[in-house]
C-alpha cells in the first residue's frame, strides 16, 4: 500500500459522502481525481488488500426481526445441511466454526413469530436442533484501523 492508498482507506473509514458524485467528492477531499480513487479501490479489492467496500446497515432500524442461530452438525453432513439451511430466504451469513456448535447463521424475518416458525422448519427439514441466540443488548464499537 502506498501513501495514496493509505489516505483513501483512512479517509473513507470516517464516512462516505452522500451526494450525486460521492467518489468525486471523496477524491477531492483526499487530493486525487475521481478516476484514481475508483481505480485504486478496485485494485485493492481485486488483490485482497480490502475484503469489501460498502455500507454497514443497522438492520434493526429497517424493520423486521433478526436473531443469531447455531447448530451442531456432524462433519460428514455439514455441506448437505448447510444447503438445506441456505435454501431458506430468511437465512443469511451462514458460516462454519471450529466449535461444538459448528454452523452459525442469522435469520432475518418480518416478525418475531416468524423466527420461531423458520427455526421449527429448519429443525423439521434437517432433523437437528437449532439454538436461538436473540440479541439482548446492542453495543456500538466504532472501529477504525489506521493504515
32-37 CB contacts, 8 Å cutoff, 24+ apart: 32/4, 32/8, 36/4, 37/8
Question: In total, how many domains does the chain have?
Answer: 2
Q: Per the domain annotation, does 144 fall within a domain?
A: no
Q: Per the domain annotation, does 30 fall within a domain?
A: yes
Residues 96 and 36 in one domain: no
Question: What pTM, to 2 d.p., does this model score?
Answer: 0.66
pLDDT digits (tens, 9 = 90+) for 94-143: 999 999 999 999 999 999 999 999 999 999 999 999 999 998 888 877 77
Residues 28 and 85 in one domain: no
Indicate the helix (H) or strand (E) that contains 106.
strand 103-109
pLDDT score at 30: 96
Domain CATH number, residue 82: 3.30.70.920
Domain containing 109: what range?
59-133
The residues near 140 (Cβ < 8 Å, ≥ 6 apart) are none
Residues 8 and 65 in one domain: no
Amino acid at each position: 500500500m502506498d501513501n495514496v492508498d493509505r489516505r483513501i482507506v483512512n479517509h473513507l473509514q470516517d464516512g462516505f459522502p452522500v451526494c450525486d458524485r460521492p467518489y468525486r467528492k471523496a477524491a477531492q477531499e483526499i487530493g486525487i481525481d475521481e478516476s484514481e480513487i475508483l481505480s485504486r479501490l478496485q485494485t485493492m479489492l481485486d488483490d485482497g488488500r480490502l475484503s469489501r467496500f460498502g455500507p454497514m446497515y443497522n438492520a434493526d432500524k429497517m424493520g423486521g426481526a433478526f436473531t443469531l442461530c447455531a447448530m451442531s452438525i456432524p462433519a460428514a453432513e455439514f455441506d448437505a445441511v448447510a444447503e438445506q439451511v441456505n435454501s431458506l430466504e430468511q437465512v443469511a451469513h451462514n458460516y462454519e466454526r471450529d466449535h461444538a456448535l459448528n454452523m452459525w447463521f442469522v435469520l432475518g424475518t418480518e416478525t418475531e413469530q416468524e423466527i420461531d416458525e423458520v427455526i421449527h422448519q429448519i429443525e423439521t427439514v434437517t432433523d437437528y436442533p437449532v439454538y436461538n441466540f436473540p440479541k439482548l443488548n446492542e453495543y456500538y464499537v466504532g472501529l477504525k484501523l489506521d493504515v
